[in-house]
Amino acid sequence: MKTESYRQQLRELSDWDRFLLKESGLPGPRANLELVQAVADEGALDLFQRYLTYTPDRASTNSPEVFLAVCGAVGLGRLLAEGDLDQLPVLRTCANDPRWRMREAVAMALQRWGDVDLPALLGAMTVWAKGSLLDRRAAAAAVCEPRLLKNPKHTRRVLRLLDTITISIMREADRKAEDFKTLRQALGYCWSVAVVALPSEGKILMEKWLANPDPAVVWIMRENLKKNRLQRMDAKWVKKF
């Protein structure tokens, strides 16, 4: 496994920064996520904090330097999973970063917490779901991960969370704002992930939203209907809409 190989290499290096910048995959379409996970596994709090100083003014979205910030955020997820709840507010700040790679890093970080304590993650995301547009985006993206949705009880909570966030999106007046579009885009795939995990209840809830005339909701639901996971779940049901 590449991540394990990277972990071994990191243990033998004294200068991580140079190695990470070289192996980041950036600039490019895909950052080296296996290496990100290795850094998160092997690093310490002081390293993660230093990497998070690569703020937007120091590291643009597609620069090698943003890779260090991404590693820092995912690393905090490991610490959070180990019980360091002080890192949750830091990750919430990162969730509002203008760089999409950092927002994805926050989702990955939170999912590490979900792997070890999904009820705690769901509780925290219920709070975030009442926050900023990007807080809400982070909440949806964090919990709508197939590997986390094995227990119907947990998936039911995720569906309620998505329902809450979708209700909130209808109250937003400035629909041309970038943060609004970012949240809308996330909801455009998150619903399908949760519905596939619990079709018996998810389809009923999604049908309610499919009947809603709000233009943003219409867009969100149409995007979900395009997802192959829904086609595989029940192509006949998808075709009804």
Over residues 129-152, the mean pLDDT reads: 98
Is the predicted pLDDT of residue 1 greater than 90, yes or no? no
pLDDT tens digits, residue range 183-206?
999 999 999 999 999 999 999 999
Query: What contacts 194, CB < 8 A, 6 or more positions away?
Result: 144, 149, 155, 158, 159, 162, 202
Query: What contacts 16, CB < 8 A, 6 or more positions away?
Result: 10, 39, 43, 47
How high is the pLDDT of residue 216? 98
pLDDT tens digits, residue range 219-233?
999 999 999 999 999
Q: What angle do CA 53, 19, 113 make, to 5 degrees?
A: 55
pLDDT tens digits, residue range 32-52?
999 999 999 999 999 999 999
Over residues 113-123, the mean pLDDT reads: 98
Read off the pTM. 0.96
Token pair for 16: 């991580």
How high is the pLDDT of residue 213? 98
Q: Report the alpha-carbon distance of residue 49 to residue 56 in Å, rounded.
A: 15
Is the predicted pLDDT of residue 78 greater than 90, yes or no? yes
Work out the percent of the chain whose per-residue pLDDT is above 90. Answer: 100
Q: Report the alpha-carbon distance of residue 32 to residue 11 in Å, rounded.
A: 18
Say which residue the tokens 């709840």 belong to: 85
Residue 166 burial (10 A CB sphere; 0-12, 13-18, 19+)? buried
Q: Report the alpha-carbon distance of residue 144 to residue 109 in Å, rounded.
A: 13
Is the predicted pLDDT of residue 116 greater than 90, yes or no? yes
Is the predicted pLDDT of residue 24 greater than 90, yes or no? yes
Query: pLDDT-derived band of residue 22, with 50, 70 and 90 as boundaries?
Result: very high
What average pLDDT does the chain have? 98
Token pair for 199: 């079709």
* Residues composing the chain: 241
